[in-house]
Structure 1
Amino acid sequence: MDKIYVLDTNVLLQDPYSLFSFGDNEVVIPAVVLEELDSKKRYMDEIGRNARQVSKLIDGFREQGQLHHGIKLHNGGSLRIELNHRSFHELQEIFIEKTNDNRILAVAKNLSSEEMAKAIGKSVILVSKDTLVRVKADAIGLLAQDFLSDRVVELDHIYSGFSELFVPVEILNTFYEKGGLPLADLPKGIYYPNQFILMKDSLGGSSSAVAIVDQTCSSIKKLLFDQDHIWGIRPRNVQQIMALEILLRTDLPLITLIGKAGTGKTLLALAAGLMQTEDLGRFKKLLVARPIVPVGKDIGYLPGEKEEKLRPWIQPIFDNLEYLFNTKKPGELDAILAGMKSIEVEALTYIRGRSIPEQFIIIDEAQNLTKHEVKTILTRVGEKSKIVLMGDTEQIDHPYLDEYNNGLTYVVESFKDQHIAGHIKLIKGERSALAQLAANIL
């Protein structure tokens, strides 16, 4: 053990099992972190659940010995609750107020000073998801780092659902003649079930083709659907064509869509859901839900009954439905939905715990879900249902999530090699030229 890791509260609230992520080194939890965990354990959301989980883990360690003296972990490291080192002697002229963040910094700084005074001291590293805490640590000469072990994928390697290949024109001609090709005829690479292949002429000609890898990863085939439009919606780019293909497929119960604002995720999913529910009768109901994040997942402070409270949060869904139904007058959409009775728009809070069979389910803003929340939702999907998870992984409102560890990215990476799942990353914005420019430069 040559390092001491001091954990901030947010690390444990993000991942209760982060205690075991530091190998054979020493993990230190300041007493103030326990106080913060105690204040969060009554929350009825993911943060509260994680606070309770950490509390149970730490309580279980008491059987191995006194925690303030340190106990061994199964991975070869050790865990210690730090009760002392609360002195602000070194920090009192820098950080005047004794906030919880500053108390954690004081613990790490005092431990670091002690180790530096030894002939062979250990490196002390503060681990925090809070950017400003890491900045403060750097300002006082303390090593600090983000907690990255919970990341599903690194950097910009998130699976896109399609590959662009340059092939000889002979391969393109054969593909069009036979309607498919063995995967062995394509350049060597990693291919996944239901992955789209955009083939272009390697000599720069205008010939191109869109194919999809079959579920056994042995060949590529032509797309099944070539509708000019569904519910008045026409795909405007190749990624939207790919999205409609997997949205309309009956053998893919799980679909994930990632894209910036204005790429058409919600509109395409709603159009596909309406077509399969209302026109084809594949599903009994179209259920649309989105998480309520901005006010801590609580709608109690808004006036009115549940429907009135929810309306501001799910208004983007209604905006898209108004476009699809071509409504012009106030209240016209509500009258249509009341008459149809097969479309349900809910906050995600109200579908958790339910069993949902024979429904086309759309979960909007799924990037604001944690791994545990998205697992809870997917395990509730019933027989003959299809679920679509979509969102923009670059616009996350959850305090402990980022582009690489959120629930949507987790599902994309976990299911990319499963034959029952389809995924597409929408790239081009189609809302307006201004919207696309804003999404790119702001």
Structure 2
Amino acid sequence: MNKIYVLDTNVLLQDPNSIFSFENNEVVIPAVVLEEVDSKKRYMDEIGRNARQVSRLIDGLRETGRLHEKIPLENGGSLRIELNHRSFQQLQDIFIEKTNDNRILAVAKNLSLEEGMKENGRTVTLVSKDTLVRVKADAIGLNCEDFLSDRVVENDHLYTGFAEIHISKDQLDVFYEKGELPIQDFVHVTLYPNQFILMKDLLGSSASALGIVDLKGKKIRKLIFEFDHIWGIKPRNVQQTIAMELLLRRDLPLVTLTGKAGTGKTLMALAAGLMQTEDFGYYKKLLVARPIVPVGKDLGFLPGEKEEKLRPWMQPIFDNLEFLFNTKKPGELDAILAGMGSIEVEALTYIRGRSIPDQYIIIDEAQNLTKHEVKTILTRVGEGSKIVLMGDPEQIDHPYLDAYNNGLTYVVERFKEQAISGHIKLIKGERSGLAQLAADLL
């Protein structure tokens, strides 16, 4: 027996193709949802783009039948626009105000009551990414679920880019002597290209070794770079050592870094970018960008030219650059950057339509990007460029994203089997004892 799924507006705005995610069941879109989608289609951001795509998609379905009746979908299910069930008779004693959320709840509740009166009534489930809508639905005895089809992974087992394996002392000796170890010694473990392996003595001694997976040669090899420091920055733990290896390797045009605040993602990426741009000359320019997503209340309109408007948003980048250049006086960093001319700090708003060859590109706060936005960015990368995406999937400021469906997690999981990319999850905070404690406790 198939089911009925009533979709909330946020599901369609998160994934316009979500109506095809419910197999052979009936999908119901309340009329109020169409009104909310219509109010968003003039936005010039990702939400507006999705609203316009939903509008075009539903308009195209009109050719197959009348929208207020069941329209067959290509996946075996059906779609219907619900025009009735606006009565608040069942909810007026609970939710007094006739808000859009409550109208959507009324549609789902009345459909559920109708199906309950039938001999073989179907289960009605409201699908919403709004936590409070799901709470309200539960309060009135209505089935409600989060939309999970847009998640890259189903649980918290996100790829870390790092594994710890216990091997014999003889195998460790072979690795130290030859600098490599055959992968068949680890056939019981699933390994990915450029995954890092911390090998420890099986008997518990302090002997250990750090290697990287080379699936082409079917070996675990030692790390290439052994710099004491990069622009004065020294790795303080294993994960930071791994991050430095990934950031300096030119055969890996895509690197992703995840981790809590204070783990050194931005500082290490900037140091590696400056070394390869200014010292080695591998790249013509260092481009640093981040999405403009406010934490808390928006700043509103800002005075001045573009550079002055962007300064508050880009200040975390400038803070790290001031540390790397060891500037003391106000305006000193601006003078240095103006004199160098090879460092560009930009907002992601201006990246669409560009082609970026021979540059070291750093995208900060990438967890606030959608799948479509991160695809737009990666398709801008030109020949000879290297791009670093970094952020904390646990700190999402975007209203429709979470740790499992954001653009950064999407790239990590989709590229983990590709030989041109590398990833590491940084664990230990090194900013300060207070910062690490706050990241753990708060």
Q: TM-score, normalised by structure 2?
A: 0.98
Q: CA deviation at 1:253?
A: 0.3
> Letter of the aligned partner of 1:160 in structure 2?
T
> Letter of the aligned partner of 2:285 in structure 1?
K
* 1:159-200 residue CA offsets vs partner (Å, 9 max, x unmatched): 000110011111100000001011112352111111100001
Distance 2:266 2:139 in 1: 44
Q: Which residue of 2 aligns with 1:168?
A: 168
Give the 3-state SS of the residue equivalent to 2:233 in structure 1.
coil
Say whether 1:290 aligns with 2:290: yes
Q: CA deviation at 1:298?
A: 8.8
Q: Which residue of 1 aligns with 2:405?
A: 405
Say whether 1:125 aligns with 2:125: yes
* 1:110-130 residue CA offsets vs partner (Å, 9 max, x unmatched): 111111111111111000000
Q: Which residue of 1 aligns with 2:181?
A: 181
Distance 2:148 2:217 in 1: 32
Q: Which residue of 2 aligns with 1:340?
A: 340
Distance 1:414 1:299 in 2: 35
Structure 2, unaligned runs of 5 or more: none
Q: Which residue of 1 aligns with 2:224?
A: 224
> Letter of the aligned partner of 2:113 in structure 1?
S
Q: CA deviation at 1:297?
A: 12
Distance 2:266 2:403 in 1: 20
Residues 217 and 23 (structure 1 numbering): CA distance in 2 closer, same or farther, change over 3 Å? farther
Q: CA deviation at 1:210?
A: 0.3
**Contact in 2 for aligned 1:8/1:104 (Cα 8 Å):** yes
Residues 401 and 217 (structure 1 numbering): CA distance in 2 closer, same or farther, change over 3 Å? farther
Give the 3-state SS of the residue equivalent to 2:63 in structure 1.
helix
Following superposition of structure 1 onto structure 2, how do residues 316-355 of structure 1 map, counting pairs within 5 Å? 316-355=316-355
Residues 141 and 195 (structure 1 numbering): CA distance in 2 closer, same or farther, change over 3 Å? same
Q: Which residue of 2 aligns with 1:391?
A: 391
Q: Which residue of 1 aligns with 2:359?
A: 359
* 1:389-413 residue CA offsets vs partner (Å, 9 max, x unmatched): 0000000000000000000000000
**Contact in 1 for aligned 2:7/2:27 (Cα 8 Å):** yes
**Contact in 2 for aligned 1:165/1:198 (Cα 8 Å):** yes
Q: CA deviation at 1:296?
A: 11
> Letter of the aligned partner of 2:34 in structure 1?
L
Distance 1:21 1:2 in 2: 14
Q: Which residue of 2 aligns with 1:24?
A: 24
Q: Which residue of 2 aligns with 1:428?
A: 428
Following superposition of structure 1 onto structure 2, how do residues 39-118 of structure 1 map, counting pairs within 5 Å? 39-118=39-118
Say whether 1:265 aligns with 2:237: no
Q: Which residue of 2 aligns with 1:441?
A: 441
Q: CA deviation at 1:306?
A: 1.2
> Letter of the aligned partner of 1:52 in structure 2?
R
> Letter of the aligned partner of 1:305 in structure 2?
E
* 1:224-264 residue CA offsets vs partner (Å, 9 max, x unmatched): 00000010000000100000001100100000000000000
**Contact in 2 for aligned 1:299/1:309 (Cα 8 Å):** no
Give the 3-state SS of the residue equivalent to 2:345 in structure 1.
strand
> Letter of the aligned partner of 1:253 in structure 2?
P
Distance 1:347 1:299 in 2: 16
Give the 3-state SS of the residue equivalent to 2:231 in structure 1.
coil
* 1:314-339 residue CA offsets vs partner (Å, 9 max, x unmatched): 10000000000000111110110000
> Letter of the aligned partner of 2:203 in structure 1?
L
Give the 3-state SS of the residue equivalent to 1:388 in structure 2.
strand
Give the 3-state SS of the residue equivalent to 2:24 in structure 1.
coil
Q: Which residue of 2 aligns with 1:8?
A: 8
> Letter of the aligned partner of 2:62 in structure 1?
R
**Contact in 2 for aligned 1:191/1:217 (Cα 8 Å):** no
**Contact in 2 for aligned 1:292/1:298 (Cα 8 Å):** no
Give the 3-state SS of the residue equivalent to 1:55 in structure 2.
helix
Distance 2:216 2:153 in 1: 25
> Letter of the aligned partner of 2:185 in structure 1?
D
Distance 1:380 1:257 in 2: 20
> Letter of the aligned partner of 1:336 in structure 2?
I
Q: Which residue of 1 aligns with 2:418?
A: 418
Give the 3-state SS of the residue equivalent to 1:413 in structure 2.
helix
Q: Which residue of 1 aligns with 2:192?
A: 192
**Contact in 2 for aligned 1:152/1:413 (Cα 8 Å):** yes
Following superposition of structure 1 onto structure 2, how do residues 210-249 of structure 1 map, counting pairs within 5 Å? 210-216=210-216, 218-249=218-249
**Contact in 2 for aligned 1:291/1:297 (Cα 8 Å):** no
Structure 1, unaligned runs of 5 or more: none
Give the 3-state SS of the residue equivalent to 1:165 in structure 2.
strand
Q: CA deviation at 1:351?
A: 1.7
Distance 1:242 1:217 in 2: 20
The number of residue pairs the alignment matches comes to: 442
Moved more, 187-196 or 48-57: 187-196
**Contact in 2 for aligned 1:162/1:195 (Cα 8 Å):** yes
**Contact in 2 for aligned 1:299/1:310 (Cα 8 Å):** no
Distance 1:298 1:131 in 2: 23
Say whether 1:34 aligns with 2:42: no
* Alignment RMSD: 1.3
- Segments of 4+ in structure 1 off by > 3 A? 295-300
Q: Which residue of 2 aligns with 1:136?
A: 136
> Letter of the aligned partner of 2:358 in structure 1?
E
Distance 1:254 1:296 in 2: 31
Q: CA deviation at 1:203?
A: 0.7
> Letter of the aligned partner of 1:343 in structure 2?
I
Q: Which residue of 1 aligns with 2:203?
A: 203
Q: CA deviation at 1:217?
A: 5.8
**Contact in 1 for aligned 2:193/2:213 (Cα 8 Å):** yes
Distance 1:303 1:97 in 2: 40
Identity %: 79
Q: Which residue of 1 aligns with 2:150?
A: 150
Distance 1:69 1:243 in 2: 55
Distance 2:285 2:388 in 1: 14
Give the 3-state SS of the residue equivalent to 1:84 in structure 2.
coil
> Letter of the aligned partner of 2:347 in structure 1?
A
